[in-house]
Amino acid sequence: MAAAPTLILGLETSCDETAAAVVRREADGRGAILSNVVLSQVKDHAPYGGVVPEVAARAHIRHLGALARQALDEAGLQAADLSAVAATAGPGLMGGLLVGHTFGKGFALAQNLPFIAVNHLEGHALTPRLLGPCPFPYLLLLISGGHTQFQLVKGVGDYTRLGTTIDDALGEAFDKTAKLLGLGYPGGPQVEALAKSGDNTRFDLPRPLKGRAGCDFSFSGLKTAVREIVQAQDAVTDQVRADICASFERAVSETLADRTRRAMAMFREACPEAATPAFVVAGGVAANARLRATFTEVAAAQGFSLMVPPFHLCTDNAAMIAWAGAERLALGFSDGLDVAARARWPLDTVSPPAVGRGRLGAKA
Ligand code: KG4
Ligand code: ZN
ω into residue 91 within 30 of 0, thus cis?
A: yes
**pLDDT tens-digit map of 70-94:** 999 999 999 999 999 999 999 999 9
Q: What is the pLDDT of residue 354?
A: 73
Using CA atoms, how far apart are residues 193 and 188, in angstroms rounded to an integer?
Answer: 9
Which ligand 1 atom minimizes the distance to the CA of 14? 7
Question: Would you say residue 195 lies in a domain?
Answer: no
Tell me how many domains the chain contains.
1
> How would DSSP label each residue in 42-78?
HHHHGGGTS--HHHHHHHHHHHHHHHHHHHHHHHT--
Q: Which has more confidence, 60 or 364?
A: 60
Pocket test for ligand 1, best of 174, 249, 281, 314 (most atoms within 8 A of CB): 174
Q: What is the pTM of this model?
A: 0.93
Please report which ligand is nearest the Cα atom of 88: 2
The number of the ligand 1 atom at minimal distance from the alpha carbon of 172 is 12
> Can you give the CATH number for the domain in which 27 is found?
3.30.420.40
Closest-approaching ligand to the CA atom of 124: 2
Write down the mean pLDDT value for the chain.
94
Kindly tell me if the per-residue pLDDT of 360 is higher than 60.
no
Cα–ligand 2 centroid distance for 144 (angstroms): 6
251-287: pLDDT as tens digits = 999 999 999 999 999 999 999 999 999 999 999 999 9
Q: Is residue 42 part of a domain?
A: yes
Q: Whose Cα sits closest to atom 23 in ligand 1?
A: 188
Per-residue pLDDT band at 2 (split at 50, 70, 90): very low
Domain membership of residue 120 (yes or no) is yes
For residue 145, give the ligand 1 atom closest to its CA.
6
Domain contains 260? no
**251 assigned to some structural domain:** no
- CA–centroid distance, 82 to ligand 1, in Å, is 32
Q: pLDDT class for 218, splitting at 50, 70, 90?
A: very high
Residue 63 near residue 18, CB atoms below 8 Å: yes
Query: First and final CA of the chain: distance in angstroms?
Result: 34
Which ligand has the nearest atom to the CA of 284?
A: 1
pLDDT at position 323, please?
98
pLDDT of 355 reads: 52
| Amino acid making up residue 173 | A
Torsion sign, CA atoms 102, 351, 287, 170: positive
pLDDT attached to residue 363: 42
Ligand 1 cavity residues, CB under 6 Å:
15, 144-146, 171, 174-175, 186-189, 192, 283-285, 287-288, 315-316
Helix (H) or strand (E) holding 256: helix 238-270
User: In the predicted model, what is the mean pLDDT of residues 46-59?
Assistant: 86
pLDDT for 130: 98
Give the model's pLDDT for residue 362: 39
- CB proximity list for 108: less than 8 A, separation 6 or greater: 84, 85, 114, 115, 337
- 31-40 and 17-25 strand pairing: antiparallel
pLDDT tens profile 177-198: 999 999 988 899 999 999 999 9
Listed ranges 203-217, 296-310, 349-363; the one with the highest mean pLDDT:
296-310
CA distance 7 to 31: 10
User: Using CA positions, which residue lies closest to atom 2 of ligand 1?
Assistant: 284
Which uninterrupted H or E stretch holds 123? Answer: helix 120-131
Which residues, 6 or more positions from 195, have their beta carbon under 8 angstroms from its beta carbon? 242, 245, 246, 248, 249, 290
Output the CA 284–ligand 2 centroid distance in Å: 8
| Res 50: pLDDT | 78
Ligand 1, pocket-test mutation among 51, 191, 285, 294, most atoms within 8 A of CB: 285
pLDDT tens sequence across 225-245: 999 999 999 999 999 999 999
Q: What pLDDT, on a 0 to 100 scale, did the predictor assign at position 353? A: 75
**Does residue 282 belong to any structural domain of this protein?**
no
Residue 233 located in a structural domain: no
Mutate to test the pocket of ligand 1, among 41, 144, 320 (most ligand atoms within 8 A of CB): 144
- By the 10 Å C-beta count (0-12 exposed, 13-18 middle, 19+ buried), 238 is classed as exposed
In the chain, the percentage of residues whose pLDDT exceeds 70 is 97
pLDDT value at 358 more than 60: no
Q: Which residue has the higher pLDDT, 201 or 351?
A: 201
Residue 280: inside a domain, yes or no? no
Domain coverage including residue 328: 6-130+313-362
Query: Residue 165's beta-bridge partner residues?
Result: 217
